[in-house]
A and B are shown apart, each in its own frame.
Chain A
Amino acid sequence: MTAPLVLAHLYPRRMNIYGDIGNLLALRRRLEWRNLPVRVVAIDEGDRFEFEEADIVVAGGGEDASQLAIAADLVERGPAIHRAVAAGVAFLTVCGTYQLFGRRFVTADGAEIPGIGVFGAETRGGGTRMIGNVVVSTPWGDLVGFENHSGRTRLDPTQQSLGKVRRGKGNDGESGEEGAITGNCLGTYLHGSVLPKNPALADDLIRRALVRRTGAPAALTPLDDTIEREAAAAAAERP
């Protein structure tokens, strides 16, 4: 592979509130440590971008006002994002963008922010915030992160979640589900940032991107993840 993998950061200016930049950094470093060339692209409102040219897209959370500010731009990009998801581009959406990758977000005072419906999910705002460290059982092993959201996300019966909450609240504090996955598009409430602490998930996004690029199974050089495991273990013990 000669052309660099393209990491796209969607809305770095407005949707980057809980150290979401760490997800981009984790992917970038784990590619660099394996001598895989990488290029990072920032996409803010109004920037032209063809999502199928990206290999991995990451997007984070923002304050309510920021979420409102990007909502219209996201809806406009909706069809392009749907095409990219169908084409197998890997996405990691966290918190605020995870919510808007569902069909819609209804705020506590009844205002409706339309989403793009990549996930069969709807979010309702309000009630007490769900705050704290979270542990989720998933196909990637236990994922550890921190959640801080008042939105309650309900998945359609056909929508697959990322995993089952072992500690914390997850999507809505009731269903026991956390996050969502459609093809190579992942959504989660976990920040912390989530990828540095969960290298298996980071590497799986990289693997999915390489498979799409080369059309062949990808074997990644193993890395020493001792510090990553220690950080995840420490977080899992904290309230």
Chain B
Amino acid sequence: MLRLRCAVALARLTRSISRLFGRGGTALPGLVALRIDPGAIEKLVAGLREGVVVVTGTNGKTTTAKMIREMFTASGRRVLANRTGSNLARGLAAELAGAWRRGRIAADLAVFEIDEAAVRHLGPRLRPRVIVVTNLARDQLDRYGELVTTAGHVAAAVAASGTAVLSADDPMVAKLAADHNGPVAWFGAVPEIRAAMPDDRALHGVTASTPVGRIDALLTGVVAAGDGAAITVVVDGREVSVTLQVPGVYNGYNAAAALLAVARLGLDPVAAGSALATMAPAFGRGQVVDYRGRRVKVVLVKNPSGLNQAIRLLCDDPVARRVLIAINDSIADGRDVSWLWDASVESLAQTPHSFGAGGVRAADMALRFKYAGVEAWSEADGRIALDRLVDAAAPGDTVYLVPTYTAMLGFLELLLPGRSRDEVWS
């Protein structure tokens, strides 16, 4: 205990000092805590009365974790969360140490978003009461390696968890149930909605899905409403209807997963679900930013299935919009841009929208547009591309910005100058 107290105290001191010097980073205090007490994470989470929820999967982690967090916060719990991008051990240690007050951790539970590579090692250390696996699709093969490897990482975390909240509609996720001894809770959608959810299961040769009997949280309706979506989910036989501020069928799935997770942790899903109506989108997850009098809707894409979801969103918008798809190839985006060829860009030819290609690899996106039969302009410079996107739109109009991760960071500085990343993401 003394060792833990020292670890926490020094982590907090490190944080204060680094803030004094204008650094907002979470890595260093966490590193200090773990250096002094390598077991700090395990000891700190043991003090959480209602335990840990882990959200992992290829797409939808940030939004799903945020939904779970908001529902618990609305129910009066003190919820600890990790910020996007700080899902390594040191990031979690820093968040946990930061919640330390008078000799104990001042939070009831933690909701951590953890990526598919890190979850293998962090899952067993966190011993989550609930683990949510949103979906598993191929993602940045140059970074994460093969999908079966990723599925193995996630399986290790599921084995160390209590209840596994799994997608019945994603065969790679459904297969995880076979290796889990604890309870499994299933979320999914009615066939009409499932058919509208783009996936790339055919691309990894999975055809037969694991037979799942009962769906504990069934998405039965998704209708576009304003910038968001009106959804209906039947959780344990009870209907939850709510209008989300985040758009698309994929966020209907995220909401079904989140509602099921909170239900398994003892919240009443009908009461808890109302908190979703006021949940603002996380940055880049359908968030609308005012820029020079136009509404810029930012939809982050990281992989072919994510791009397919964005394409689906654009296909569902009947109003002619201007759209910029901006592709970078930094390490965080994946160096390899060949995934652009796996997304069904062809579908965009049927929409009334007009398109531009941006980012460091604007030329690759322009090429993808060309072979998809979609006319598009191309501009690698972020500021010029953004101006070109909004200039042709009338004041008050909505335009779409669809960037990869580091492209999004670049646009963030143009859209919200002077705002730090942490501020925007909190």
Tell me whether chain B's interface is mostly helix, strand or loop, or mixed: helix
Nearest-neighbor residue (CB-CB) of A70 within chain B: B205
In the complex, A224→B138 CA distance in Å?
33
- Tell whether A21 pairs with B342 under 8 Å between CB atoms, given A131-B335, A148-B141, A148-B336: yes
A234 with B141: CB separation less than 8 A: no
B58 to A: closest C-beta gap in Å: 15
> Does A88 reach chain B (CB closer than 8 Å)?
no
B341 to A: closest C-beta gap in Å: 3
> Does B142 reach chain A (CB closer than 8 Å)?
yes
Mask: chain B, 398-420; 1 = CB below 8 Å from A; 0 = not: 00000000000000000000000
Mask: chain B, 96-127; 1 = CB below 8 Å from A; 0 = not: 00000000000000000000000000000000
A146 with B338: CB separation less than 8 A: yes
- Tell whether A227 pairs with B342 under 8 Å between CB atoms, given A63-B148, A148-B142: no
- Tell whether A14 pairs with B371 under 8 Å between CB atoms, given A132-B335, A235-B364: no
Mask: chain B, 336-376; 1 = CB below 8 Å from A; 0 = not: 11111110000000000000000011111011101101000
For B329, the chain A residues whose CB sits under 8 A away are 238
Name which of A65, A227, A228, A238 has the most chain B CB atoms within 10 A of its CB.
Answer: A227
A22 with B141: CB separation less than 8 A: no
> Does B78 reach chain A (CB closer than 8 Å)?
no
> Does B202 reach chain A (CB closer than 8 Å)?
yes
- Tell whether A29 pairs with B371 under 8 Å between CB atoms, given A227-B363, A227-B378: yes
In the complex, A18→B338 CA distance in Å?
6
B364 with A231: CB separation less than 8 A: yes
> Does A66 reach chain B (CB closer than 8 Å)?
yes
Partner of A234, one of B335, B341, B361: B361
- Tell whether A192 pairs with B371 under 8 Å between CB atoms, given A13-B202, A17-B203: no
Nearest-neighbor residue (CB-CB) of A28 within chain B: B371
> Does B147 reach chain A (CB closer than 8 Å)?
yes
A204 to B: closest C-beta gap in Å: 18
B366 with A231: CB separation less than 8 A: yes
> Does B204 reach chain A (CB closer than 8 Å)?
yes
In the complex, A26→B373 CA distance in Å?
12
B153 to A: closest C-beta gap in Å: 15
For A66, the chain B residues whose CB sits under 8 A away are 204-205
Mask: chain B, 319-347; 1 = CB below 8 Å from A; 0 = not: 00000000001000001111111100000
- Tell whether A64 pairs with B146 under 8 Å between CB atoms, given A25-B341, A193-B338, A239-B335: yes
A66 to B: closest C-beta gap in Å: 6
Mask: chain B, 142-156; 1 = CB below 8 Å from A; 0 = not: 100011100000000
B363 with A233: CB separation less than 8 A: yes
For A62, the chain B residues whose CB sits under 8 A away are 205
Nearest-neighbor residue (CB-CB) of A22 within chain B: B341
In the complex, A207→B239 CA distance in Å?
61
A16 with B203: CB separation less than 8 A: yes
Interface range on chain B: under 10, 10 to 19, 20 to 34, or 35 or more? 20 to 34
> Does A69 reach chain B (CB closer than 8 Å)?
yes
Nearest-neighbor residue (CB-CB) of A232 within chain B: B363
> How many residues of chain A have a CB within 8 Å of chain B?
37
A192 with B338: CB separation less than 8 A: yes
B341 with A21: CB separation less than 8 A: yes
> Does A53 reach chain B (CB closer than 8 Å)?
no
Name which of B202, B204, B371 has the most chain A CB atoms within 10 A of its CB.
Answer: B371
A48 to B: closest C-beta gap in Å: 20
A19 with B341: CB separation less than 8 A: yes
In the complex, A230→B364 CA distance in Å?
8
B336 with A227: CB separation less than 8 A: no
In the complex, A238→B142 CA distance in Å?
14
Mask: chain A, 17-36; 1 = CB below 8 Å from B; 0 = not: 11111100110010000000
A14 with B205: CB separation less than 8 A: yes
A3 to B: closest C-beta gap in Å: 24
For B368, the chain A residues whose CB sits under 8 A away are 22, 196
For B380, the chain A residues whose CB sits under 8 A away are 234
- Tell whether A196 pairs with B360 under 8 Å between CB atoms, given A18-B141, A63-B148: no
For B336, the chain A residues whose CB sits under 8 A away are 18, 131, 146, 148, 191-192
- Tell whether A230 pairs with B142 under 8 Å between CB atoms, given A17-B203, A192-B337, A239-B335: no
Between A and B, 30 residue pairs with Cβ closer than 8 Å are A13-B202, A13-B205, A14-B204, A16-B203, A16-B342, A17-B141, A18-B141, A19-B341, A29-B371, A63-B146, A63-B204, A64-B148, A65-B146, A66-B205, A131-B142, A133-B335, A146-B336, A191-B336, A192-B336, A192-B338, A196-B371, A230-B378, A231-B361, A231-B363, A233-B363, A234-B364, A235-B361, A238-B329, A238-B361, A239-B335
Interface residues of B (CB under 8 A from A): 138, 141-142, 146-148, 202-205, 329, 335-342, 360-364, 366-368, 370-371, 373, 378, 380
Supplied contacts A25-B371, A146-B337, A231-B361, 9 more A-B pairs, CB within 8 Å: A13-B203, A17-B141, A22-B371, A65-B148, A132-B335, A148-B142, A192-B336, A197-B364, A238-B335
